[in-house]
């Protein structure tokens, strides 16, 4: 596989003048925006607007000022730009700061369900067909603007997983239920990614999320932007920055092995800041197991994964009874007991949909003793090897 190039630049805060300079520099390192976006092309810009509505300060969504900085350069090449994601409520665009930003720039903002989805066949690792947003299929160029975050099920969510948002919400819930193991679910994510293949990925790592992401972790200032034509390589470099071995993260492992991008750091050329100069050595990872099992036999994988995966537990004192977790659960494990939610452990498949949906930090992720020990051993081994 040929080498891929990933550029890294620093950007301390979400101030538009500074971000414009940083984006101009990072695109310049890669050959300029014209290298990825032909003049007059129809461009779809995929952002991360994880439902329910979230303000940008919580580091759950791609920051709108970051998106604006990128859009200003694309608008110099083409006026045909659609910014979108599939969200439950149109309010997400307003709360997230996108409605005003896109209005000011004269750029179309689209909830993908409004234009519908089309079934697309594929020969995937798991999926044989999937419904993809029509706006994505109609675009001539796709620009990917993910957020650098941890994820309770897949350990990391970034460039590849961002495209899980181009399929319908109901299908997303169903696929979680049908493929609960991290290794297999990652194949689903890579199957979807294989149909999209963005021309350019620019990752928002100015303020990342650490701990139990993607919605209930802690904002972590990193002051970084990553970019490449290879989304898999962007994920790999981002994972290395926060202390993960990329080829032990299932999405990167599968995408690399299927030739959809480069996940091996030895095959990635880094421009701008050096990898060593930007490593976050104390970055808190989620209590999950997804990246660990790439080299062990399947029976052992299943046994160890069950221990290492966290179990969602409702913290009753924080629960407000909003019902978001109940609506998100694909198996009915999350339901009401009186005015508060609770989770039936026998029905729970640990897909973390409830944790992702909760905006009140009312769902804790708990790992048993063996899982905590194995997780600590993994971190120690990887740091020693690195």
Cα distance between the two ends of the chain: 23
Per-residue pLDDT, 293: 42
CA distances from residue 361 to 91, 190, 214, 272 in whole angstroms, order as listed = 21, 29, 12, 37
Residue 288 belongs to some domain of the structure: no
Secondary structure (3-state) at 30: coil
Give the burial class of 223: count Cβ atoms within 10 A of its Cβ; 0-12 exposed, 13-18 middle, 19 or more buried.
middle
Based on the domain organization, do 251 and 330 belong to the same domain?
no
311 DSSP β-pair partners: 366
User: What is the model's pTM?
Assistant: 0.83
Per-residue pLDDT at 294: 43
User: Does the residue 284 lie in any domain?
Assistant: no
Least confident range of 175-179, 294-298, 326-330, 337-341: 294-298
Residue with token string 């089309």:
118
356: domain CATH number is: 3.30.70.20
Looking at the fold, whether 164 and 233 belong to one and the same domain comes out as: yes
Segment 334-339 mean pLDDT: 94
Average pLDDT over residues 313-341: 92
Q: Is 148 inside a domain boundary?
A: yes
- Around Cβ 262, how many Cβ atoms within 10 Å? 27
Region 340-360 average pLDDT: 86
pLDDT in tens, 285-320: 987 544 444 444 445 555 555 555 678 899 999 999
339 with 269, same domain: the answer is no
Whether 82 and 183 share a structural domain? yes
């Amino acid at each position: 596989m040929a080498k891929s190039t990933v550029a890294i630049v620093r950007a301390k805060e979400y101030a538009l003048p500074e971000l414009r300079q940083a984006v101009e520099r990072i695109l310049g390192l890669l050959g300029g925006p014209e290298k990825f976006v032909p003049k007059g092309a129809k461009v779809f810009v995929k952002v991360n607007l994880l439902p329910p509505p979230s303000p940008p300060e919580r580091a759950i969504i791609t920051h709108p000022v970051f998106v604006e900085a990128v859009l200003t350069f694309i608008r110099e090449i083409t006026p045909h730009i659609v910014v979108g994601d599939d969200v439950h409520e149109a309010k997400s665009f307003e709360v997230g700061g996108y409605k005003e930003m896109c209005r000011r720039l004269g750029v179309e903002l689209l909830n993908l369900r409004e234009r519908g989805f089309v079934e697309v066949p594929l020969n995937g690792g798991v999926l044989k067909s999937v419904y993809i947003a029509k706006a994505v299929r109609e675009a001539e160029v796709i620009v990917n603007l993910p957020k650098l975050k941890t994820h309770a099920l897949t350990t990391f969510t970034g460039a590849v997983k961002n495209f899980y948002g181009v399929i319908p919400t109901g299908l997303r819930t169903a696929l979680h239920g049908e493929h609960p193991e991290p290794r297999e679910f990652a194949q689903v994510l890579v199957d979807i990614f294989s149909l999209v293949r963005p021309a350019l990925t620019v990752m928002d790592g100015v303020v990342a999320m650490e701990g139990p992401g993607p919605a209930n972790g802690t904002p972590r200032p990193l002051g970084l932007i990553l970019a490449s034509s290879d989304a898999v390589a962007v994920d790999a470099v981002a994972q290395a920055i926060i202390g993960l071995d990329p080829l032990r993260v299932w999405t990167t492992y599968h995408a690399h092995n299927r030739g959809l991008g480069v996940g091996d750091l030895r095959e990635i050329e880094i421009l701008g800041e050096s990898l060593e100069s930007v490593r976050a050595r104390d970055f808190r990872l989620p209590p999950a197991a997804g990246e660990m099992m790439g080299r062990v036999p399947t029976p052992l994988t299943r046994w160890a994964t069950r221990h290492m995966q966290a179990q969602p537990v409702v913290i009753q004192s924080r629960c407000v009874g909003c019902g978001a977790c109940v609506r998100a659960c694909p198996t009915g494990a999350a339901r009401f007991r009186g005015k508060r939610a609770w989770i039936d452990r026998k029905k729970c498949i640990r897909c973390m949909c409830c944790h992702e949906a909760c905006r009140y930090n009312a769902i804790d992720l708990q790992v048993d003793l063996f899982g905590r020990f194995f997780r600590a051993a993994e971190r120690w081994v990887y740091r020693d090897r690195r």
